[in-house]
Chains A and B, each alone.
Chain A
Amino acid sequence: MSEKDIIICRCNDVTQKEIEDLIDQGITDIEEIKRLTRIGMGPCQGRTCIPLVMRIIARKTGKKIEEIPVPATRVPTRPVPMGVLAGAMNNEE
């Protein structure tokens, strides 16, 4: 299996090759990689892919994994249907 076929982010279908290409272009900031590829922005909010991406960055840049900042996660941490959230509002109005 080549790097082209290894999927790192299952939610948004991002391959190892796409990430390595960005790092080769000098883009090693995980926030930038996140925004360019949408890793970590899928329904699982990066629980699966962020640790893998951090490891790739560490390997390719020679940095220690602790030196790579973990990207901010944003509420809600678990998907909730709009109807449920809207309902919470309805009851108040």
Chain B
Amino acid sequence: MKSEAKTVIIGGGIIGLAIAYNLAKMGEEDIVVLEKGYLGNGSTFRCGSGIRQQFGDEANIQMMKRSVELWSGLKEELGMDVEFRQTGYLFLLYDEEELESFKKNVALQNKFGVPSRIISPEDAKELVPPLNTEGIIGAAWNHTDGKANPFKAVFAYANAAKKLGVEIYEYTKAEDIKVENSEIKSVITDKGEIKTRRVINAANAWAKLLNAKLGIDIPIEPYKHQSVKTEPIKPGQIEPMVISFKHDGVYLTQEAEQGGIIGGYGLKYGPTYDITPTYEFLRGVSYRFTQIIPSLKYVNVIRIWGGYYAETPDGNAAIGKINEINEYYIAAGFSGHGFMLAPVVGEMMAELIVNGKTKKPLWFYDPYRFERGELRGKAIQMG
């Protein structure tokens, strides 16, 4: 292990790795990533893999538009197929109020060049043949949304970063950060000390534990959410990500390569670091899935698992520079949409650190908005 580095990134999930890669790509040298377990073991490997631009606010729409551009080129850029597929996101709408609010979102998305639109229940059925259209009055559809493989994405970023000289230490936990007169001196790990002047907190569900050591308080709390996976079904049945807020934030889709159905709904527990799967979820998710896609009744569940949503009060991440300590940055608290944002967050964080400004609206995620009481409109959440 190195005893000195220019930049230390704490957290080897998709966010920390995307930042490491982008910093190295912009010419930064001497970057170390610390991961207390194996890469991706936090939230990233437990995620639902969905990627969408259908948000209800300008900042998330612009960020995700850029992220999808990056996802589209990731295979060439990183030299590994991350199985990005633009199979679309379909929001099922069951009443006028929902329909009206989605019409507004669609108009906003269109303004920024996202080609979403409202479609009829019949069109929705054509996209998802086994869909139960009872009660559905319309749907919001964007064919350029999609999904990717979290396992491959993590390894693609890690390998590309290593090729650019980034050092990644797995099973190495950052235990403390030494600071004198607001200047970072070093990071203390369970494997030794690394002298550095710059630290990026990309520890997501654990971010507040590191902040607490420095007396910094940003409200990010870990909540348990769960996912389910079924045995494979006939290919091409449920290609889009299907969302229903009427069923408590259900999301479900068929995996591109494996053919099983994966998804979940809004049941959550916490704040907690316990992610043991629950029978309550297993029954609840089966009930809701079979309401939306009745033929799933006959399909076997093969596994359920828990993971963290690192949540802030408005459901948007805390990203940016920490004022109290020189060269201390944070990118954490991604709720249910950190996977999809990773390519653009990596790019914007590198711009912020190297150039001091960003092309996309990273200010929206200002970590100080909470203490100023300037919460954003709650990001469209699911799961």
A contact residues vs B (CB 8 Å cutoff): 12, 29, 31-32, 35-36, 38, 41-43, 45, 74-76, 79-86, 88-90, 93
Residue of B258, B279, B289, B297 with highest tally of chain A CB at under 10 A: B297
Residue of B231, B296, B300 with highest tally of chain A CB at under 10 A: B300
Q: Are B303 and A45 in contact (CB under 8 A)?
A: yes
Q: Are B286 and A86 in contact (CB under 8 A)?
A: yes
Q: Are B287 and A76 in contact (CB under 8 A)?
A: no
Q: Are B38 and A29 in contact (CB under 8 A)?
A: yes
Partner of A75, one of B297, B300, B304: B304
For B296, list chain A residues within 8 Å (CB). Answer: 82-83
Bound Cα distance from A81 to B286, whole angstroms: 9
A75-B282, A81-B300, A82-B298 known; 17 new pairs, CB 8 Å cut-off, are A31-B41, A32-B38, A32-B39, A35-B45, A36-B152, A45-B302, A45-B303, A74-B305, A75-B303, A76-B282, A76-B301, A81-B297, A82-B299, A85-B283, A89-B283, A89-B286, A90-B287
Question: Chain B, 122-166, contact with A by CB distance < 8 Å: what is the 0/1 string?
Answer: 000000000000000000000000000001100100000000000
For A29, list chain B residues within 8 Å (CB). Answer: 38
Bound Cα distance from A86 to B291, whole angstroms: 9
Residue of A nearest to B291 (CB): A86
Q: Would A85 and B286 be within 8 Å (CB), given that A35-B40, A35-B151 are in contact?
A: yes
Partner of A43, one of B39, B287, B297, B302: B302
A36 to chain B, nearest CB (A): 6
A45 to chain B, nearest CB (A): 7
Query: Is B358 interfacial (CB 8 A cutoff)?
Result: no
Q: Are A86 and B287 in contact (CB under 8 A)?
A: yes
- Number of A-B residue pairs, CB cutoff 8 Å, is 81
B290 to chain A, nearest CB (A): 5
Residue of A nearest to B283 (CB): A89
Residue of B41, B283, B305 with highest tally of chain A CB at under 10 A: B283
Bound Cα distance from A18 to B40, whole angstroms: 21
Bound Cα distance from A35 to B114, whole angstroms: 32
Bound Cα distance from A74 to B40, whole angstroms: 18
A77 to chain B, nearest CB (A): 9
Query: Is B326 interfacial (CB 8 A cutoff)?
Result: no
Q: Are A80 and B303 in contact (CB under 8 A)?
A: no
For B297, list chain A residues within 8 Å (CB). Answer: 81-83, 86
Bound Cα distance from A88 to B283, whole angstroms: 7
Q: Would A43 and B290 be within 8 Å (CB), given that A31-B38, A81-B299, A85-B282 are in contact?
A: no
Sample 14 A-B pairs with CB under 8 A, ordered by A number.
A35-B45, A41-B303, A42-B302, A43-B231, A74-B304, A75-B279, A75-B303, A79-B302, A82-B286, A83-B290, A83-B296, A83-B297, A85-B283, A90-B287
Bound Cα distance from A80 to B301, whole angstroms: 5
Q: Would A36 and B230 be within 8 Å (CB), given that A83-B298, A85-B301 are in contact?
A: no
Query: Is B284 interfacial (CB 8 A cutoff)?
Result: yes
A3 to chain B, nearest CB (A): 22
Residue of A nearest to B152 (CB): A36
Q: Are B231 and A79 in contact (CB under 8 A)?
A: yes
Query: Is B249 interfacial (CB 8 A cutoff)?
Result: no
B239 to chain A, nearest CB (A): 19
